Amino acid sequence: MIHLADILSPARSRVNVQGGSKKRVLELIAQLFAEDQPSLDSNQLFNSLIAREKLGSTGFGNGIAIPHCRLSGCDQPLGAILHLESPVDFDAIDGAPVDLLFVLLVPDAATDEHLVLLRQIASLFDNEPLRERLRQASDNQALYEAVIAGNA
């Protein structure tokens, strides 16, 4: 079983992210991964995230979205957590705007591993006290630590 500590890093944990729109948030996510993982192409990642959203929104409800995609050039699962400064419309299933996002990238060939990670992340974010701790995190490190502690 993969633990979130294995796929998440403080460098990919961000608070007070200024999104503005769903598209802009996905662009920021692609840039964040490309900065941290230079082997990843930000345009390819952005296009993959957009293509996944066209299949159906990754807005989970309760202000949470879990954007995810398979990506060629990605050789292991990678995650990021973002707390937006202001919620954005993400076409979530409950209609609520999104302010917390957990992003999951998996290798092109991933199958069961991808689904197991998605279930693990969805289960984690179904925890209201954890969501509040994430929303109260004052800096990137605190956000990272709250996710890791919530997954312990």
What residues are annotated to the active site? 68
Q: Please name the residues in contact with 82: beta carbons below 8 A apart, sequence gap of 6 or more.
A: 13, 14, 15, 17, 25, 28, 29, 32, 100, 101, 103
Two tokens at 140? Answer: 């990137």
Largest Cα span, the chain: 37
Residue of 108, 150, 144 whose CA lies nearest to 36: 144
